[in-house]
A and B are shown apart, each in its own frame.
Chain A
Amino acid sequence: MQYTLLILVLPLLSFIVLGLVDSKWKPKVAGTIGTIVLGIITALSYYTAFEYFTLHKVAGVYEKVIVYDMEWLRFTDALHINLGILLDPISVMMLVVISTISFMVNIYSLSYMDGEKGFQRYYAFLSLFTFSMLGLVVATNIFQMYIFWELVGVSSFLLIGFYYTKPSAVAAAKKAFIVTRFADLFFLIGILILSFYTKTFDFTILTAEHTTVFAGTTGITFMGFSVLSWAMAGIFIGGAGKSAMFPLQIWLPDAMEGPTPVSALIHAATMVVAGVFLVARFFPVYYFQTPEVLHGIAYVGAFTALFAAVIACVQTDIKRVLAFSTISQIAFMMVALGVSGYEGHEGTGYMASMFHLFTHAMFKALLFLGAGSVIHAVHSNEIKDMGGLRKYLPITNWTFLIACLAIAGIPPFSGFFSKDEILSASYEFSPFIGGLMTFVAALTAFYMFRLYYSIFWGKDYTIKASSHGHDDHGAGHTPHESPFAMAFPLIFLAAVTCVAGFIPFGEFVSSTGADYHIHINLTVAIVSVVVASISILIATMMYRKQSTTPDKLAKIFSGLYKGASNRFYIDEVYMFITKNIVFNNISRPIAWFDRHVIDATMDGFANTTQWVSLRIKGFQSGQLQQYAYVFLFGTLLIAVLLFIF
């Protein structure tokens, strides 16, 4: 299966070519090339999945296959960095998810980004992102993963800041980069500790079931926890940064400043699940070696899920609602991993997490692309500018509804199946977490339908007197359905959302690689469907027609409302810590030292050099006699000095 190497090479080539020619090619050409390349990659990924799942089952277990391996840097015989391609159920699944969503986003952008300045650059960055994300999931070792992990961060930075003339976009790009980079610092520390004690970077060695590489870590503790726990916690913090777990979630809502298709690709379906993927990749290590860290992940996930869901209920920017919903849903996956056992039925959580990753990627991308279609039509992100759009945007309306039903967990849409598995795994772990997650699921249903009704129902759409900046429509226009290039991805993803739940997912992906048969736990299923339906009902009553109920409720819970709409002031806390504490007490003194000690030394150095240079310039007189004199003098001086010393 050497051809899988093409999956990495093609997007890289596409990035280099598109990046180099930049504006020399017409936007159409660049866009088409980018999209075709992605199409090929998607086809290759599907073929890889097909071949892997049919051929590589040994004794009922999917094996880990390394189809390509190259030694890149060698430190010692044991410790070396390789670059390669590792195929196992989760990486193959990720290949399918990433290439599908990326392909859809490429098609969608052809129309959505049409006429934007820097269209070619946009496609180059999309290719770079796809390359890094694909490289991340097929990494054979932590170090390769870390390289691509950073590349993902960079390309995300580039895409968020795509509108680089807009200050808010630049600020958001910086924020996303700095926050995730800060988390990556812990990731790197984790990698270093881990490899220091185990002498390997290799995933296949680290995650083997009965491995002895951790023998070196036994008995070494630091502040009450074993050194391995610290390493794995550090690695998790890296994942938490990319996956926007509390308290590192602050960058994701701001990242919505990027173009909407980018949000769909990066901030809904692919990059943000990298953290989940990371934990899943290390799952055996977490489970066997550091169960306390795994449980910590479950609690962090549960809290984040609740926290983000509450905030999502009151946001008024549709993309931000979706952003918080993403945080909450990813937290679901984290919880599922945290509560999971390892073998057989115990492994429900792991399977459910991956399943939810798969279904969520599809319907969340659909939601974002739908939101993009709405924004395209009304030129605003704010709920107050929308309402009653179902007449104008029928396709968007239907596909958005399907996605909302899926995320709310209503059968037969895909979200129901995966969420149900997560809930039943949670109940088995602890009724408290199970109950909490059911409540969050109810909140999810509520805020999604609040969003749905506010966009497509509610008050009738009022055509504005003059639309800003859209010259070709003249003064004011009725919103219109998006062109085919945008509608097609919506329909495709909606179709996937309708059927994905029936994929026997457990047969492909499970913690051990062996078959896992999904049983729907009827009690949990019925409870969650009923709760979700009630939430939807409440949302219907409150938002379907214009009513005053929401305002009244906001007044009654004014404290909670205000806190939630300000995202519980977490951003302010960060600002306080960085500005008042870090800047004043650490950065200022360092800056002073830099300016008055280091710079002054360098200035002195420079001044001395200039001075000496002035003094000795007479040496170079241009007179040959003098040259010969200096020459001879130098020779004799050397000889004399040699004899003296």
Chain B
Amino acid sequence: MDYSSFLQMREELSLIGVMIFLLIFDIFASKNLIKYFQPIAFVLFAVHIILNCVPRDAFEVAGGMFQYHPMQTYIKTILNVGTLIVLLQAHKFLNNEENKIKRGEFYFLIFSTLLGMYLMISSGNFLLFFIGLETASIPMAALVAFDKYKNNAAEAGAKYILSAVFASSISVFGISLIYGSTGTVYFSDLATLITGTPLQIMAFVFFAVGLFFKISLVPFHLWTPDVYEGAQTNITSYLSVISKGSAVFVLFTLLVKVFGNLIDQWQPILWGLAVISITIANIFAIRQKNLKRFLAFSSISQAGYIILAIISGTAIGMTSLVYYVLVYVFSNLAAFGVLSVIEERTGKVALDDYNGLYQTNPRLSFVMMLALFSLAGIPPFAGFFSKFFVFAAAIDQGFYVLVFIALLNTIISLYYYLLVIKAMFLTKSETPIELIKSDFPLKLSLVICTMGIMLIGLFSAIYNQIAVFGFGI
């Protein structure tokens, strides 16, 4: 057997290399060297990103088990950059005395989940897909419970793993039904074998809810706020951005590649899910007093908007989806970055604590404002363009009512995003949060995010470049 074709899985191999090196380094490095653990990790990961950011020609490994498409390079790079930003933001947290000993684990776990997402994205077979899904979920539960002696974190970890297992089991049940009705789990074969028999439709529904759980669409979202609130903030941001970003991409590719014949079934499902996700999440977000829960609901409604890109199933939809994820990475991570540094230094996460933040921390408030404006979709920030393209993709396929409902919802979302901005800039406070001195990696991450928010929308070349590899039905 020729194993050289495995070498083509460059992204996965280089990530595994980084992981193993860091694991060994963490265990065996001397006291002097261990101080440089985080800088070395950043550099290695950055090298990994740069090495793997150029799209290659499509290929298959292991008889179609692993399928590469150039678009995957873009989504993987976006996830990589997002992960790097999360790591930069977590730098201070991991340097705390009680966490120092665990930071090797932190990196190893994060990279494991990332590897799982890679496998999900590139899989050409339901088995590899399922392995990827679990590789992404199980270490994630460990990450959520990273502060294992804190009640909140432990509770969140338990909730996450139980929910995830529940979702996976339903999903795997769906896969078994697919195998039962067609006799194969290879995507390329399934595309023609799935013809829309009732059993296959049933199988599809069971399978898909596993991904809906990952994307946290209503009504499969109930775990989200509790887990987001309990987990350490940097993990929350990773969960809300990277994990979600990979899942939506996978959902799109599977719907197009495998379930293309069921388009008449999945379009109405997605239609309904998008509407209730956006609406319910918005309605809940209005009431939130805890900013982490608030951002949890905000991310659920953002997921609803992404569904608008998926529902079209076209190449335009694919392009707008990747673009949306790109912008969402920067906007949401900017918001979480500010949130995490404030929680890390002062332990405050309530909306009322943010009153008068501008008086003491003008720069952090400014970044937060940009991030929220971008999430709300206000021009000229990137969020406006990403929403615009997503809506355009849906309009293109005639989903006028859906886009109208989504537009109405952006008004509600604007209201609650502005609530935070109002608290920071307008409401005066007797005891505002004191001046926070950010560390260098955090500053760097916020600068990257801010640049992303302000510039991505202005360079149309980015969208056009993504569009080159767009594919759909």
Contacts and interface: CB of A to CB of B under 8 A. Distances in A.
Given A622-B226, A627-B222, A642-B201, A635 B280 contact: no
B209 A634 contact: yes
A466 B30 CA distance: 82
B280 A616 contact: yes
24 contacts: A605-B411, A609-B283, A609-B286, A613-B284, A613-B286, A616-B280, A616-B284, A620-B225, A624-B159, A627-B163, A627-B222, A628-B163, A631-B219, A631-B220, A632-B170, A633-B219, A638-B205, A638-B209, A639-B201, A639-B205, A641-B272, A642-B201, A642-B205, A643-B198
Interface string A598-629: 00000001100110110011011010101110
A632 to B, nearest CB: 8
Given A627-B163, A630-B219, 7 more contacts: A610-B286, A631-B220, A635-B205, A639-B205, A642-B205, A642-B265, A642-B268
Contacts of B209: 631, 634-635, 638
Interface in B197-240: 198, 201-202, 205-206, 209, 213, 219-220, 222-223, 225-226
Interface string B390-409: 00000000000000000010
A622 B163 CA distance: 12
A634 B170 CA distance: 12
Nearest to B265: A642
A613 B283 contact: yes
Nearest to B166: A628
Contacts of B159: 624, 627
Contacts of B263: none
A645 interface: yes
Q: Which of A613, A627, A639 has the most CB of B within 10 A?
A: A627
Contacts of B158: 624
B437 interface: no
Interface in A89-106: none
Contacts of A617: 284, 287
Contacts of B265: 642
A393 to B, nearest CB: 48
Interface string A311-342: 00000000000000000000000000000000
Nearest to A628: B166
A605 B283 CA distance: 12
Nearest to A610: B286
A616 B284 CA distance: 8
8 shortest interchain CB distances as A-B pairs: A634-B219, A627-B222, A613-B283, A639-B205, A635-B209, A630-B219, A638-B205, A628-B166
Interface centre among B170, B219, B220 (most CB of A within 10 A): B219
A634 B218 CA distance: 9
A617 B285 CA distance: 11
A642 B269 CA distance: 8
A627 B223 CA distance: 7
A630 B284 contact: no
Given A627-B163, A627-B222, A635 B287 contact: no
Nearest to A626: B222
Contacts of A616: 280, 283-284
A630 B222 contact: yes
Nearest to A627: B222
Nearest to A645: B268
B13 interface: no
A638 B408 CA distance: 25
Interface in B165-202: 166-167, 170, 198, 201-202
Contacts of A613: 283-284, 286-287
Interface residues of B, number: 34
A612 B265 CA distance: 29
B229 to A, nearest CB: 10
B462 interface: no
Contact of B222 (A619, A639, A643): A619
B409 to A, nearest CB: 10
B162 interface: yes
B416 to A, nearest CB: 10
Contacts of B378: none
B412 interface: yes
Contacts of B198: 643
A424 to B, nearest CB: 53
Contacts of A610: 286
Question: Which of B265, B283, B415 counts the most A-chain CB atoms under 10 A from its CB?
Answer: B283
Interface in B364-418: 408, 411-412, 415
A631 B286 contact: no
Interface residues of A, number: 27
A148 to B, nearest CB: 20
Nearest to B205: A639
A464 to B, nearest CB: 46
A638 B207 CA distance: 12
Interface string A419-456: 00000000000000000000000000000000000000
Taking each of B201, B225, B287, which has the highest tally of chain A beta carbons within 10 Å of its own beta carbon? B287
A457 to B, nearest CB: 57
Interface in B68-97: none
Contacts of A639: 201-202, 205-206
Contacts of A620: 222, 225, 284
A635 B170 contact: yes
Nearest to B170: A635
A479 B283 CA distance: 70
Among A616, A624, A643, max chain B CB count under 10 A is at A624
B311 to A, nearest CB: 15
B422 to A, nearest CB: 15
Contacts of B223: 624, 627
Interface string B261-288: 0000100110010000000101110110
Nearest to A637: B219
Contacts of B213: 631
Contact of A631 (B205, B222, B415): B222
A626 B283 CA distance: 20
A270 to B, nearest CB: 30
B167 A631 contact: yes
A635 B206 contact: yes
Interface string A208-242: 00000000000000000000000000000000000
Contacts of B280: 616
Contacts of B225: 620
A620 B282 CA distance: 14
Nearest to A608: B283
B222 A638 contact: no
A567 to B, nearest CB: 42
A631 B287 contact: no
A609 B282 CA distance: 9
A621 to B, nearest CB: 8
Nearest to A629: B222
Contacts of B286: 609-610, 613
A605 B158 CA distance: 38
Contacts of B269: 638, 642
A288 B219 CA distance: 70
A268 B113 CA distance: 69
A79 B153 CA distance: 60
Interface in B333-364: none
B353 to A, nearest CB: 22
Contacts of A638: 205, 209, 269, 272
Contacts of A609: 282-283, 286, 412
Contacts of A643: 198, 201
A612 B412 CA distance: 13
Nearest to B280: A616
Contacts of A630: 219, 222
Contacts of B411: 605
Nearest to B218: A634
Contacts of A606: 415
A567 B202 CA distance: 83
Nearest to A613: B283
A616 B276 CA distance: 13
Nearest to B273: A638
Contacts of B220: 631, 634
